[in-house]
């Protein structure tokens, strides 16, 4: 039986004129809608008490397990407004399935995909007016998350778990708009090892990326690239995006190591690129290949992708020993195929192209 969700409306929603101001320049992750969704779990009752209430702070006992042992998982997805006013999400069941895998890794209970999608849909319906129009590719970023909410300092899986969804109108993730991002290769820090949590979307992975991101910033770079933990040789991903390398014969390589977060954008691009006539190889990809194949001109374009960042062109890669320049075909807004793949994806998401894959899910 699908989860029942009660709704308590916000008696003091953000006024229309203020909302219009926010939606005209939403930034990323700074403004939040009028409501939030909460569901609780205990071993006795399973998932229960699903409710939408006014957005606001939550009270946690200082001994709440997540604050000490970081037992939590999260997702990132978006709701898109189409020109006819309807509102859609993109492959939400994939986010639900990934959250189930992440939760399994973090010893958290699994929320059924059907309930995950129903929860997200319910919040979007209540906060419908917060979904910006699609001009400038604005959307409503959705953040489902689950955390250990038991008050207990012993190290064991929490016996009280809370799932929530919050939403935040979003513009471009990178402030500079669509231009190639510069990368820093960290040779000191890794993101994930064999048997670790790399494939899970859990806060600890992002906490551990921050010092490497600081290293990148201190070298004047936008984002950090992680290598595999065992050999420090194979490219994994950026702190919040997967990577693609476009070759001169048209084929594309994307790293697959077993320790990356397998993005839904990544999986979708593999199919979209195929439709555009480009085969995609998923395999280990070494830093030497990056260096040699940019140098020989075989790599023509590099891009990164993720829900927040969509498809973002990549420029040069700095490292302690020097720099690998941007590939030859990197223009001011990235390469030509990067642009075509980006358009194919966003046209689909914003309803400007036919959804031949059946990826879009109507909410309103």
The residue at minimum Cβ distance from ligand PLP is: 263
- For residue 272, state whether it binds ligand PLP (rule: CB under 6 A): no
**Residue 242 interacts with which of ligand PLP, ligand COI, none, CB < 5 to 8 Å by class:** ligand PLP
Shortest Å distance, C-beta 143 to ligand PLP: 11
Answer yes or no: are the C-beta atoms of 346 and 305 closer than 8 Å.
no
> What are the distances in angstroms from CA 35 to CA 21, 64, 124, 188, 361?
19, 23, 9, 42, 21
- What is the total count of residues that contact ligand PLP (CB under 6 A)? 12
Distance of alpha carbon 223 from alpha carbon 317, whole angstroms: 10
For the chain, report the end-to-end CA distance as a whole number of angstroms: 22
Given 190, 307, 330, 338, the residue binding ligand COI (CB under 6 A): 307
- What is the total count of residues that contact ligand COI (CB under 6 A)? 5
Interactions with ligand COI, residue window 230-249 (CB under 6 A): 240
Q: Which stretch binds ligand PLP (CB under 6 A): 101-109, 120-128, 239-247, 278-286?
A: 239-247
Residue in 184, 187, 248, 259 with CA at minimum distance from that of residue 222: 184
Phi and psi torsions of 213, nearest 5°: -65, -35
Shortest Å distance, C-beta 153 to ligand COI: 28
Shortest Å distance, C-beta 325 to ligand PLP: 24
- For residue 92, state whether it binds ligand PLP (rule: CB under 6 A): no
Contacts of 224 (CB under 8 A, 6+ apart): 183, 184, 185, 186, 209, 212, 213, 215, 216, 238, 239
**Residue 264 interacts with which of ligand PLP, ligand COI, none, CB < 5 to 8 Å by class:** ligand PLP
Q: Which residues, listed in sequence order, are joined to residue 185 by a DSSP beta bridge? A: 225
Shortest Å distance, C-beta 237 to ligand PLP: 5
Phi and psi torsions of 17, nearest 5°: -65, -40
Strands (E), 34-75: 35-42, 46-54, 72-74
Distance of alpha carbon 85 from alpha carbon 131, whole angstroms: 10
Given 92, 198, 255, 306, the residue binding ligand COI (CB under 6 A): 306
- For residue 242, state whether it binds ligand PLP (rule: CB under 6 A): yes
Angle, to 10 degrees, between the axis of helix 264-275 and the axis of helix 336-349?
110
**Residue 266 interacts with which of ligand COI, ligand PLP, none, CB < 5 to 8 Å by class:** ligand PLP
Shortest Å distance, C-beta 76 to ligand COI: 2
x/- map, 193-232, ligand PLP, by CB under 6 A: ----------------------------------------
Given 117, 161, 308, 311, the residue binding ligand COI (CB under 6 A): 308
Distance of alpha carbon 56 from alpha carbon 33, whole angstroms: 10
Which residues here bind ligand PLP, judged by CB under 6 A? 76, 237, 240-242, 261, 263-266, 306-307
Which residues here bind ligand COI, judged by CB under 6 A? 76, 240, 306-308
């Amino acid at each position: 039986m699908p989860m029942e969700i009660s709704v308590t409306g916000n008696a003091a929603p953000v006024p229309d004129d203020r909302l219009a101001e926010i939606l005209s320049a939403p930034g990323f992750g700074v403004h939040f809608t009028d409501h939030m969704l909460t569901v609780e779990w205990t071993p006795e009752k399973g998932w229960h008490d699903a409710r939408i209430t006014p957005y606001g702070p939550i009270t946690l006992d200082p001994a709440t397990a997540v604050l000490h042992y970081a037992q939590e998982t999260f997702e990132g997805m978006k709701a898109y407004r189409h020109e006819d006013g309807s509102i859609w999400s993109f492959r939400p069941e994939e986010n639900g399935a990934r959250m189930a895998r992440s939760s399994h890794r973090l010893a958290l209970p699994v929320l059924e995909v059907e309930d995950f999608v129903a929860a997200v849909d319910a919040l979007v319906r209540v906060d419908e007016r917060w979904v910006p129009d699609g001009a400038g590719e604005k959307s409503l970023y959705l953040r489902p998350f689950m955390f250990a909410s038991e008050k207990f300092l012993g190290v064991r899986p929490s016996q009280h778990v809370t799932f929530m969804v919050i939403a935040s109108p979003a513009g471009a993730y990178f402030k500079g708009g669509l231009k190639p991002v510069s990368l820093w290769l960290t040779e000191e820090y890794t993101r994930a090892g064999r048997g670790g949590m790399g494939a899970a979307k859990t806060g600890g992975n992002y906490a551990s990326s921050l010092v490497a991101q600081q290293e990148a910033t201190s070298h004047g770079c936008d984002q950090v690239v992680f290598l595999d933990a065992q050999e420090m040789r194979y490219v994994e991903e950026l702190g919040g995006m997967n990577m693609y390398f476009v070759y001169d014969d048209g084929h594309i390589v994307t790293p697959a190591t077993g320790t990356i977060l397998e993005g839904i954008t990544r999986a979708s691009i593999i199919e979209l690129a195929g439709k555009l006539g480009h085969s995609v190889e998923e395999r280990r990809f070494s830093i030497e290949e990056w260096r040699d194949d940019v140098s020989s001109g075989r790599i023509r374009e590099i891009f990164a992708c993720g829900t927040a960042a969509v498809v973002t062109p990549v420029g040069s890669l700095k490292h302690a020993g020097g720099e690998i320049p941007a590939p030859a075909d990197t223009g001011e807004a990235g390469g030509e195929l990067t642009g075509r793949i980006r358009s194919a994806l966003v046209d689909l998401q914003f309803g400007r192209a036919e959804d031949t894959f059946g990826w879009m899910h109507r909410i309103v």
